[in-house]
Amino acid sequence: MRLMAEGLSAKRGEDLIFNDISFVLDASEALVVTGPNGSGKSTLLRVLAGLLRPESGHLKLENGPPEIAHPSELSHYLGHRNAMKRELTVAENLSFWRDFMGDSPGGRGATLAEAVEAVGLPDIAHLPFGYLSAGQQRRMAMAKLIVAYRPIWILDEPTAALDAGADRLFADLVKAHLGKGGIVVAATHQPLGLDRMKELHMTGFEHLAGDHWHDA
């Protein structure tokens, strides 16, 4: 599987946020998006997730399942908000997302017990999501990534509110996903310690011509 972006640009209102971004990601490759606040990282990720229409350019998937209309159907998106209901228990939230999303072809989601084990919080799945601390909520939102299988992960500041231990745990999750042939696009400042990692440095509106990317 290969994810290709060609000449992407996006606007918010009248303002051009970024211009002409292209990259190619093969299976088991990660793209780390860095840049100062307001440089368009979140906007780029929302474009990749199909939640914003790009002003120009397009996104392509090669060697993927044929019936897919947009790569977003094969993607997990973890944004700033956790997409979990405070009133429901963690287990109810996770099992809802597992049933609702289903697995993409070519993989199988983890069971609930495995997922909460993987994020290191096996004992609190029976609590309402609203009772959890911000860091625990973020970890449970990550458990959502593995209960339903998606080959592409799009992660926006995934490690906000996490302590050092959870940072490592998250890096392990990403590594395991890449090891199974997945693709990860993440906006993060945390070093993930990956072998095959590309970096896209976004410089924001004033330096549009200066955007570049290179193999790390």
Partner 1 sequence: MMALFFRDLKLSIRAGGGAMIGVLFFMTVVAVIPFGVGPDLNLLSRIGPAILWIGALLASLLGLDRLFQAERDDGSLDLMLMQETPLLFTVFVKCAAHWAATGLPLVIASPLLGLFMNMSEIAIGATMLTLLIGTPAITFIGAVGAAVAVSLPRGGLLVSILVLPLAIPVLIFGVSAVYAVIEDPAPFLPPLMILAAITLFFAVIGPVAAAAALRHASD
Q: Which residues contact partner 1 (rule: CB under 8 A)?
A: 12, 49-52, 68-69, 72-73, 75, 77, 79-88, 92, 95-97, 99-102
Of the pair 75, 188, the CB lying nearest partner 1 is at 75
Nearest-approach distance from CB 138 to partner 1, in angstroms = 12
Nearest-approach distance from CB 150 to partner 1, in angstroms = 9
Q: How far is CA 150 from CA 64, 76, 125, 137, in A?
A: 12, 6, 22, 21
Sheet holding 30-34, edge to edge: 75-78, 152-156, 183-187, 30-34, 197-201, 212-215
Of the pair 186, 194, the CB lying nearest partner 1 is at 186
Distance CA 65, CA 104 (A): 9
Of the pair 96, 205, the CB lying nearest partner 1 is at 96
Beta carbons within 8 Å of 68's beta carbon, 6+ residues apart: 61, 74
| Single-letter amino acid code for the residue at 189 | H
Nearest-approach distance from CB 140 to partner 1, in angstroms = 13
Nearest-approach distance from CB 137 to partner 1, in angstroms = 10
Using a CB cutoff of 8 Å and minimum separation of 24, what contacts does 106-113 make?
106/65, 106/149, 106/151, 107/149, 107/150, 107/151, 107/180, 108/149, 109/146, 109/147, 109/148, 109/149, 110/146, 110/147, 111/147, 112/147
Nearest-approach distance from CB 13 to partner 1, in angstroms = 9
Of the pair 205, 213, the CB lying nearest partner 1 is at 205
Nearest-approach distance from CB 83 to partner 1, in angstroms = 4
